[in-house]
Homo-oligomer: A and B are copies of this chain.
Amino acid sequence: MAAATLVVNGDVAALKAPSAGRYAAVYSEVQNSRLDHPLPLPSVLKNRFKVVDGPPSSAAGNPDEIAKLFPCVFGQPSANLVPGDSSDNSGQKLKIGVVLSGGQAPGGHNVISGIFDYLQDRCKGSTLYGFRGGPAGIMKCKYVVLTPEYIYPYRNQGGFDMIASGRDKIETPEQFKLAQETAIKLDLDGLVVIGGDDSNTNACLLAENFRSANLKTKVIGCPKTIDGDLKCKEVPTSFGFDTACKIYAEMIGNVMIDARSTGKYYHFVRLMGRAASHITLECALQTHPNITLIGEEVAAKKETLKNVTDYIADVICKRAELGYNYGVILIPEGLIDFIPEVQQLISELNEILAHETVDEAGVWKKKLTSQSAQLFELLPPAIQEQLMLERDPHGNVQVAKIETEKMLIQMVETELEVRKQGSGYKGQFKGQSHFFGYEGRCGLPSNFDATYCYALGYGAGALLQSGKTGLISSVGNLAAPVAEWTVSGTALTSLMDVERRHGKFKPVIKKAMVELDGAPFKKFVSMREEWALKNRYLNPGPIQFVGPTSDKLNHTLLLELGA
């Protein structure tokens, strides 16, 4: 075990006396108070239960290809926990590994607590290994044996610092071999992979690989991502989404009150969440901004950057006529990924700049198609520069680094100047830019995320004890009281489709995008005219952990559940 890694993750635990119960030296009062926050379990997990299989499953798309890619685990039924007696495996001691994969999301520590408590409660004498630093920890067999003393201080705490996370993948034959070696070395009965869509695809590949190699190690996934884009009928939401949105909404709500008090700024707020716009949509439902851009809608309507700019300018002009020269605008981080012409420009730039040197005279620009050249000229100089200079190690444009909110401020400003000359606009425009991202990923989990994660982990333990593999832990009926939540496992292959890359089929869990005919988006559409011109700002305030407001679910989840 490398010293560096040990130290990185040992910070908190090392300072925490096992028996102290309180950690005044390393925790704030609120952090300390969260340690004792009770974690209720769904009734089915509190009593004796058995696992009942549903009908065989298929795939989200191209079932034949998925079946070929996963010959051992394809088609598995969902496994539903129901009250009853199960004599199987009772009293069995298990060796289980757990790994955090990908970006942080509030609640990850509670998933681990849930697995651990399941083993303590139902399989006394079991061992839980925490792989350090993500999937690389599996391959390098870097782990810590999780004990009550080690785990307790992380209960209901944000972050992934208990065992840290990583972005490595296990996908090549060599990597699978390393994973197998660890599974054999530690005599693992099971492995829980806590991650997003990619990590759960990986988890399924690992389940397939272990089974095909006749290893006893089962693999169960858990749905993690603040982006909210890993969900399906059986998995109503990914954990972390609730907390992150509430943190962003607190900030947005404050900025709104500031906008109204000052009366002179348009706040352009870019929000984390690149692939899908769920975070932006949820924050809009919580706070009622004047303008909200939803990437999926922009893509569906095949809008250009000019269309988007014009839409914002239109609202600003109408508001100016009403005497409002201020407002709040929400922008999903991935907005420009949704604009076809921008995608085209970026792909041309990637191609050209891989082969050409950028000359001062701009000769390289002549290689752009005329549409892309036109768009490039439309962009503010700072953005042109970002497109050309901020490139990843493969030489590609780093779209995530483009400050879309600043780009839009400049483009809207230019557009409004034009309209001013045409006397179509008489207001004042001042833009302020914000990016809310990192501050939402590691907050203290909301009561919902704390409880949901604990159930996901506890359920994952139950699935492993039942000998299941290739499933994702699924907790449902979330609009009901916790006691009535359902617990099951859903075949990971049932979430999958294939993508063709380099002539080969590659399995992927399709990202759940904002559905334009879904209840959350429709609710937003029904309100956006009113929010644009009237000021219906809501300030959700800081997350409260006790009191009547502390157990409120997010709008997206409630609307999708029809609650």
Binding site for B on A (CB under 8 A): 2-5, 7-8, 11, 26-31, 33-34, 104, 133, 157-161, 164-165, 247, 250-251, 253-258, 260-263, 265, 267, 286, 322-324, 432, 434, 438-444, 534-549, 552
- Min distance, Cβ A384 to any Cβ of chain B, angstroms: 13
Q: How far is the CA of A548 from the CA of B157 in the complex (A)?
A: 18
- Min distance, Cβ A440 to any Cβ of chain B, angstroms: 7
Whether the pair B104, A262 counts as a contact (CB closer than 8 A) is yes
Q: How far is the CA of A250 from the CA of B440 in the complex (A)?
A: 10
**Cβ contacts A to B, 15 pairs, < 8 Å:** A7-B323, A8-B323, A11-B534, A29-B540, A30-B542, A104-B262, A160-B261, A161-B257, A251-B439, A258-B438, A434-B438, A443-B542, A542-B542, A544-B546, A545-B547
A254-B440 CB under 8 A given contacts A7-B323, A159-B261: yes
Q: How far is the CA of A418 from the CA of B504 in the complex (A)?
A: 45
Whether the pair A548, B324 counts as a contact (CB closer than 8 A) is no
Query: When the two chains form the complex, which single residue of B26, B104, B434 contacts A538, counting CB atoms closer than 8 Å?
Result: B26
Whether the pair A438, B254 counts as a contact (CB closer than 8 A) is yes
Query: When the two chains form the complex, which single residue of B160, B164, B258, B548 contacts A29, counting CB atoms closer than 8 Å?
Result: B548
- Min distance, Cβ A251 to any Cβ of chain B, angstroms: 4
Please state the number of chain copies in the assembly. Answer: 2
- Chain B residue nearest in CB terms to A382: B382
Q: How far is the CA of A251 from the CA of B444 in the complex (A)?
A: 11
Q: Main SS of chain A's interface residues?
A: loop
Q: How far is the CA of A139 from the CA of B434 in the complex (A)?
A: 35
Whether the pair B159, A33 counts as a contact (CB closer than 8 A) is no
Whether the pair A442, B257 counts as a contact (CB closer than 8 A) is yes
Query: Given contacts A11-B535, A158-B254, A247-B254, could you give 14 more A-B pairs where the C-beta distance is less than 8 Å?
Result: A3-B323, A4-B323, A8-B260, A28-B538, A30-B539, A30-B540, A104-B261, A157-B257, A159-B257, A159-B261, A250-B542, A254-B442, A254-B443, A546-B547
* Nearest 4 Cβ contacts at the A-B interface: A4-B323, A542-B542, A30-B541, A159-B257
B residues in contact with A27, CB < 8 Å: 538-539
B residues in contact with A165, CB < 8 Å: 261-262
B residues in contact with A256, CB < 8 Å: 442
- Chain B residue nearest in CB terms to A427: B4
B residues in contact with A439, CB < 8 Å: 251, 254-255, 258, 434
Whether the pair B444, A31 counts as a contact (CB closer than 8 A) is no
- Chain B residue nearest in CB terms to A260: B161
Whether the pair A548, B33 counts as a contact (CB closer than 8 A) is yes
- Chain B residue nearest in CB terms to A27: B538
B residues in contact with A34, CB < 8 Å: 541
Q: How far is the CA of A159 from the CA of B253 in the complex (A)?
A: 11
